Amino acid sequence: MNKTLTTIFALAVAFGTVSVQAQEIKGDAKAGEGKIPMCVGCHGIVGYQSSFPEVYKVPKIAGQGEAYIASALHGYAKGDRHFPTMHAVAQSLSDQDIADISAYYAQLGRDGTAAAPAKPSREPSTEVASLLQKGACVSCHGDNFAKPIDPSYPLLAGQHPDYLFVALKAYKTDKGRYVGRSNAIMGGVAKQFTHAELKALASYIGSLDGELKTVPESRFR
């Protein structure tokens, strides 16, 4: 087992209590539907782009893992994830609000007929395959990048490549005031790579078939 993989598993154990705590509050998808006005203005518009810290499409969150959405929102609220707009939104939510919104988006757009393939829908180039091995990416996110080993880890297949690139770069900056993400696991992984290598990884993972989508909110259709 290489050093990267050993470190990942050790940190995963350390962070396990976060997932358990997040699961203690039961989310209600029906209740969550009434709590998303602040979400739909960005995440309910297909192709909507953020302009901070650079131009990129906001992430697809319909069909994303419930525990991951909750973990991300708690991260923005606590300041572990640095992004002014999301920090303000997340801080306005109670723990129950976060659980309900997470439950709503996790089931949104899922009809039970379009499951992600068991294996990646396309093979990586030799260069990207080497980068994936170096980062031990599949050990946490699964062979198809749609079946993570922990529910608090994100589904990645089919996510917008430009968003993935911005997110990966953010893990390299954990102490920024407005940009960055504090995560010992992903920080250790991302800091191994150049920006060009992170972009190559993001482009490949984003090109895979997955279950993530943007479901237009009725007023924006």
Instruction: Convert the pLDDT of each residue in 33-45 to its tens digit.
Output: 999 999 999 999 9
Q: How far apart are CA 29 and CA 49, in angstroms?
A: 26
pLDDT over 90 (residue 218): no
Residue 66 contacts residue 103 (beta carbons within 8 Å)? yes
User: Which of these, 32, 19, 154, lies nearest to 93 by C-alpha position?
Assistant: 32
| β-sheet bridge partners, residue 181 | 81
Q: How far apart are CA 216 and CA 44, in angstroms?
A: 5
User: Amino acid identity, residue 176?
Assistant: G
pLDDT band of residue 170 (cuts 50, 70, 90) is very high
pLDDT over 90 (residue 220): no
pLDDT band of residue 175 (cuts 50, 70, 90) is confident
pLDDT band of residue 176 (cuts 50, 70, 90) is confident
Residue 45 contacts residue 216 (beta carbons within 8 Å)? yes
Domains present along the chain, CATH in parentheses? 3-215 (1.10.760.10)
What is residue 24's predicted lDDT score, i.e. its pLDDT?
A: 82
Which helix (H) or strand (E) segment holds residue 166: the answer is helix 161-170
Q: How far apart are CA 43 and CA 36, in angstroms?
A: 10
Weakest mean pLDDT among 103-112, 120-129, 141-150, 159-168? 103-112
Weakest mean pLDDT among 31-35, 73-77, 110-114, 145-149? 110-114
Read off the pLDDT of each residue in 20-29 and give the average, rounded to a whole number. 77
pLDDT over 80 (residue 6): no
